[in-house]
Each structure stands twice: as structure tokens, then as C-alpha cells.
Chain A
Amino acid sequence: MFKKNAVAAGMAAFASVALTAGCAVADGSKGSDVDITAMSAEELAEHLIFETDSFRDQEMQEGGTWRDRMTQDELQKACSMEGDPDGETAGRVVAMARASYEAPESIELGDWRKGAELADSGYGYRQGHRTDDHSQREAGGNCYNCHVFDPRVSDQGTIGPSLQNYGANRGTSEAVLRYVHEVISNPHQYFPCTQMPRFNSDRHQLLSDEQISHIMAYLLDPESPVNNQ
């Protein structure tokens, strides 16, 4: 994607111009010595992220540096367009997502009460002026930001479809369990370039298998308030 060579060449070519113009000052208040107009918009975006000191140098909760977090994987690259992916991209993304998914040997439903808390919690993975400390509090799934689960709970998002009565309508067959596990782990297997995050993929594991089993219980357990509307 971002061609390091192109930038290096750009820097060499424009260093002399910048020097004669007297604007190659390191305090950041002067223009940089890179000709940003020589880059494509994509190259410039990568340059701005990685070479202009725009982000805090912090360690990420999932491990690694801010650079690791900001570096796109193939799926993120493929989905960085406006609107829906074209047929070719969609097919490629589904294939990528399927290839990296590892099905667990067996899937069991956990505790829907714990699942309700996890689905509700927006804590976790935030970085910057305030940084979520996972040693103080477990990270949640953010599901409520985008989905209605239980309309009796106020303030639920509508970016994704309502999941009210999800289990009541579908049951708890092996096929349903497998499908829901697949969607929560990596929804791009079914919805290429969906807005929904991958919670357990080759990129990283945001929710543990146990946490996913609790959230699945919240969605599917006949006792869960989601299924008793």
C-alpha cells in the first residue's frame, strides 16, 4: 500500500528546495520537507498517520505499539471504501474471513447474566487522553452501541439489526450455535465489510472464548430476557 521508497525519493528530491526556502525546521511549526503533493491521497494518509507524530506513543491493551494498532491488515484495507464492497471485494473478504476462522470443538452456552453485562459494557481498548486499564476492569463487547437486545433497556444503538427474541426465533440447534459463534468471532464471513468489529480473529482476540459463550447465552438461552419479550 504505502510505498516507503516513494517517500524516501520524495524527501531526497525536495530536501534541497526546502532548505533554500528555509522551511526545513524541526520544531513542527514550519512546513515539512516532504512534498505532500507528490503522493497519492492513500500514500499521504499513511504518511500523516505514521510519519508526523500525530499519535501518542502508548502501549496497546492487546499488546504492541500504536503503530501496530494503526497498521491495517488485509481485511481492513479491502474494506476501506465508501459504501458497499463490489462483488469481487466482497468475495475476497468472505474468503479471507473464512480462511482465518477456527471453529471450536464444541460450543456451549455460558451464563446469560454475565453475557448481558458484557454486551452492555463499552469499556476496553480505548487509548489516548484516557486509557482503559484492563487490569482494573474487564473489557466488554460494545454490542449495545449498535444493537437492541432488550427493548426494556434504554439507550441501545441501531447501527446493526435488532436482536430482540433472537434465540426465541432461532432455537439452539448446533447449526445456530455455530453460526452465532462465527458471526461474533468474524462477521465478515457472512457480512463482508460490515461495520461490526471482529471479536476473535487472526488480527486479535477482543473477547475470550468464555466471554463469547456468555454473550451467546444472552442471545440464545430461552431464560435470557432477550428471548422473553
Chain B
Amino acid sequence: MFKKALLALPVAMAVGAAAQAGEWQDPNDVLQNLLQNNPDSAYLHQSEMNIMMMPDNPALWLIDEGEELFYAERGPNNVSLEGCDFGKGPGELEGAYVELPRYFEDTGKVMDFEMRLVHCMKELQGFTSDDPAVARRHGNGSDIMQLTTYIAHQSSGMAWNPPLDHPEEQAMRDAGEVLFFRRGGAMDFNCASCHGDSGKQIRASVLPEMRNGQEWTKAVSWPAHRAGHDNVRSQNHRIRGCVWQMRHAGIKADTPVNTALISFWNDAARGEPAVLPDLKR
């Protein structure tokens, strides 16, 4: 399973305000801290059942499978993903997930996690867009979700810290903020229509508020097992679902609109510890 020894290595370099958030923590411990710090958050406390289930989060089952896939020699080129650089160097996964999206020199653009993973599976392993390994994006059985869960788990408890040093990173983050507030589509919605206030409900779902960091870090903590779907879901899957509910046009995977929205929403959770993987309703 997850190599604790590896985690004990000096992660302590991540200093600053969020010092204790720099170290790996079990996702359930991260959640418990958020709950304790925010006794009045209706969003965080909405599902007693999910809170109880968190130590046995079904998403944890995907971690082993993801690890195997990561180190297996696969694809037409028969290589592992150890050569994949998620921003911290080839094969360096610790803390990588919470420091995305970022600008990559080799592609000359800002990439979010899934875009980068797919890039590596194609460029290194030789998969094509039509291969099921790449084409299947959703569901517990998909390679993408297993890999995502394994890789994201290596950043659990660490603070969201997407870099903004490169001008393109800043530009994508800022465009993401504009997109978040851009009213449009058949029903005039922007993201803030539903995520602008704390404790509001759409039907039975209590909604997270974007400007409330401790609610928002849980909100953007995907991959998460979605109890209602009985499957582990990704950040991209969440965006697709919300854009669909918003009656905007149908958003595609691996596209810059996704990347910009994720650049902004991870930034909006900056400094707060990630719950990876999480469990949601």
C-alpha cells in the first residue's frame, strides 16, 4: 500500500504559515481537524454517515491498484510512469498534486493534473486517445481514476499551493476567476450562483462557499468517493457536473477551460490542507 517510510522523509521544507500542513496526513485526520475547527459549518458537517465512513473510505481501495499501474511497464512503449514529471521531477509524487496546475516547459503551457497524466501516458507509454487506458476517464475501474487516487494520496494533508510564478500560471488563475463569476448559459448561472454563500442548499445538498477556505479545501478535494454514485470521481468530473447543471454548453475533458477553473479553485483553497482521497455525498 502507501509507503509510510517515504512520507517520513523531510517534507518539513514546506515552511511558512501552513507549516504543519506541509506534512503528509491521513485523510481522515485532515477531515477531523477541519470538522473540529469549524463546528458551525453546515457544509462540512452535512453527512454524519460519510464522516463515520471516512476511515473506511472506499476510495482507499483504488490506491494499491493505482500504485501498481504507476510502476508497471505498460503501453506500446512498455515503460512505467516513473519518468513522468508532475512538476517536482520525474516520478516525484509527494506533494505534486497540491502544486498543480502549473506551467510545464516541455509542453509550453499550463496543465492540470489529469491533462498532465494523460500527456505522460501518451508521450511516454505511447497510448493513443482511443486506447481505453486513456479514453476511459471515469469510474473505479478506469486506469485514470486508479492512478489519480494513488498519486493524489501522496499529497494528503499538504496545503494547496499551486505555483503562480510563471506569468501563464497567473494568467490562467485570473481567467479562472473571471470564469467563476461569468454569468451565462440558458439560465444565467455563474459558479457563485450556487457557491457564493455558506450553508445554502440545492435540494438536499449543502453547498460549499468558495471564499471560505476550510469549506473550499474539502470542496476541491477530489478524487473522492461519491456515495451517491458509488464511484471515485475527479476534479474534472465535478466541473463537468456543475457546468451541466448550469445549462452552459457541454464541457470537454483535457481542455483549457477546465485548467483555468482548476487553477482558480485550487488557489482559492491555498494554504488549507487537502483531503486526499475524500468521501462526498
Which A positions have Cβ atoms within 8 angstroms of B?
A: 21, 23, 28-32, 36-37, 39, 41-42, 44-45, 48-49, 52-56, 58, 60-62, 66, 69-72, 75-77, 79-83, 125-131, 142, 144-146, 154-159, 195, 197-198, 204, 206
Contacts and interface: CB of A to CB of B under 8 A. Distances in A.
Interface stretch (B93-101, B147-155, B181-189): B181-189
B107 A30 contact: yes
Contacts of B108: 21, 23, 30-31
Contacts, number: 166
Interface secondary structure of A, over-half rule = loop
Interface residues on B, range: 35 or more
Contact of A44 (B174, B184, B190): B174
Contact of B194 (A77, A82, A126, A159): A159
Interface of B: 107-109, 119, 122-123, 167-168, 170-172, 174-175, 177-179, 181-190, 192-194, 196-197, 200-204, 240, 243-245, 247-252, 254-258, 260
Contact of B190 (A37, A80, A155): A80
A42 B175 CA distance: 6
B278 to A, nearest CB: 22
Given A80-B183, A127-B247, A129-B240, A54 B258 contact: yes
Given A37-B171, A156-B203, A157-B203, A31 B109 contact: yes
B177 to A, nearest CB: 7
A45 B247 contact: no
A69 B202 CA distance: 23
Contact of B249 (A45, A69, A198, A206): A69
A155 B204 contact: yes
14 contacts: A37-B171, A41-B175, A41-B178, A48-B175, A49-B257, A53-B255, A56-B252, A75-B183, A76-B182, A76-B183, A125-B187, A128-B244, A144-B203, A159-B197
A77 B203 CA distance: 28
A58 B249 CA distance: 8
A56 B168 CA distance: 25
A76 B178 CA distance: 13
Nearest to A144: B203
A39 B171 contact: yes
Contacts of B171: 36-37, 39, 41, 44
